[in-house]
Amino acid sequence: MALKPLRELKSAERRAEAERERREAAREEAFRTKIAIQQFMNHNGAIFRAFARAGTPIEKMVEGEVLKEPAARAMKLAVLVASELSGKAPEDVTAAEAKPFRSEAAEWVATRWSAGKPLDVERAAKEIASAVRLADRTWDHDMYRDDRISDDASLMMTAASVAGSLARQVEVYDFRLGRDAALGKVVKAVVETASQSAAEMLAPDASPADKRNLTQTLARNLCSLMEACYERKAREVVSRLNGKPEKEKLAWYSSHNPVDEILKDFRDWTVCFAAYAVAASRGMTQHLIEVSEAGHRQNS
């Protein structure tokens, strides 16, 4: 009779161990998902921002075709920079070697695309590589690395940065809502969306640190999207009302709420961007990810 409790105890221990292993595996999977989402957003955020600023229809973004060329150009540029610096042929450059230049390459492509300028990636690669060679290695030092800043403090610094970036947009034009009111709306939208999206993107087993870290990545990237949406609407409204009599301006504002329109555009772009990032983390964005990760072998 005494053996039964012992068997039950061992069985309970095995179940507890299995549960610990399951939770550990789930946390590891959540961590990998977080890294994949962050890499996609950091490597492609500039391209999404450029399309948002240009007012590209969301439907075209969902179809994915419009992303192919800029994503491929950005990846090719990053690979060519790595090739210049490493002395390797472009086809021999690994994804890891190109990774440090992905975000900057996307910024370059997005900026040239927005300005309607030619995308000469070969020339750009040589110029960027020359600049990298001249850079002092000590510039890579992280000023916060030794300050033992907590995750919570770092998150607060990100929120402050978001507010500062958006304040510059609002100071230029506040749609007659008042700077404080306009800034409050757009900052709240970015911070709340980043926090909510991080929780939705990761599994419940994700660690609090992973959720905070992903929230920071989201906040930075969504802030850029908000800036693009805000800038586009500001240009649109100024162009529409410029030179009009005050009475007509007041009449227009009485029937329009540009800030609410900005928030709607921001939500649409956020859903699109987040959906791509989540799909990328699951290996589902074949039309973009394959081009982005392997497309540098084309036209090389």
CA dist., res. 104 & res. 111, Å (int): 10
In a domain, 200, yes or no: yes
In the predicted model, is pLDDT for residue 196 greater than 80? Answer: yes
Percent of the chain, pLDDT > 90? 40
**What's the pLDDT at 83?**
93
Mean pLDDT of 216-238: 94
Average per-residue pLDDT for the chain: 83
Locate 83 and state its tokens. Answer: 């090739």
**Which residue did the predictor score with more confidence, 239 or 152?**
239
In the predicted model, is pLDDT for residue 2 greater than 70? Answer: no
Question: What pLDDT digit, counting tens, does each position of 208-218 carry?
Answer: 888 889 999 99
In a domain, 85, yes or no: yes
In a domain, 2, yes or no: no
Domain span at 73: 30-138+152-297
CA dist., res. 222 & res. 217, Å (int): 8
**Which residue did the predictor score with more confidence, 187 or 29?**
187
CA dist., res. 33 & res. 5, Å (int): 42
In a domain, 7, yes or no: no
Three-state secondary structure string covering 247-264 = HHHHHHHHHCCHHHHHHH
In a domain, 24, yes or no: no
Q: Taking a C-beta distance cutoff of 8 angstroms, is the pair 292, 71 a contact?
A: yes
Number of domains in the chain: 1
* Residues whose CB is less than 8 angstroms from the CB of residue 84 and which lie 6 or more positions away in sequence, other chains included: 125, 126, 129
How many other C-beta atoms can be found within 10 angstroms of the C-beta atom of residue 287?
14
In a domain, 133, yes or no: yes
**What's the pLDDT at 104?**
86
